[in-house]
Amino acid sequence: MTNIGTETAVPKTWPPMSAFTVSAGRRSLVRVGALAVTVLSLAIALTAAENPAALDEAALIIEASGKRFEFQVELAETPTERARGLMFRESLADDHGMLFDFGRPQPVAMWMRNTLIPLDILFIRSDGRISRITRDAQPLSDRVLQSGEPVRAVLELRGGLTAERNIQPGDRIIHPLFDEP
């Protein structure tokens, strides 16, 4: 069949449409096939949800208590990447995290829906200073975690890490995203 403008041309050699009907015996086979296609499509979608495309990564340093802590962070820059965050992850290495870039300073709210591991959530001003830390955010919680002031970004690290390394509000994040002092 060819589509030309608004007219559809059907070759004259094609049988009439009644020849394409499905007999009652084959109807169940067609339904099973349609169900199989639906299940396969759903399985592919769920696999994609659990294994998202790799995000860009970058080095990040936190200066705290006279020490420098180095991390490799995934960059969540688009609304879709920020909405997904670290959902469905079963672990997070001590030297890894996710940096959420909101593009400009603004009030930010986060939650832990579908996040399986506890996280420390660092709210970061445009100058790279940590304004607030939510420590050990509870996995799978819908509780809204507010920035408390306009921030440029959020950094998520393994839960408990900021307490272990004595990282506090006012400490500095070094990354190209933030203005140099």
pLDDT at residue 25, as a whole number = 57
pLDDT at residue 127, as a whole number = 97
Closest CA to 124 of 134, 136, 138, 116: 134
Task: Record the pTM.
Answer: 0.72
**For the residues of 31-75, what is the DSSP string, one character each?**
HHHHHHHHHHHHHHHHHHHHSPPPPPEEEEEEEETTEEEEEEEEE
pLDDT at residue 179, as a whole number = 79
Phi, psi dihedral angles at 130 (to 5 degrees): -75, 125
Residues of the chain with pLDDT under 70: 1-53, 181
pLDDT at residue 61, as a whole number = 98
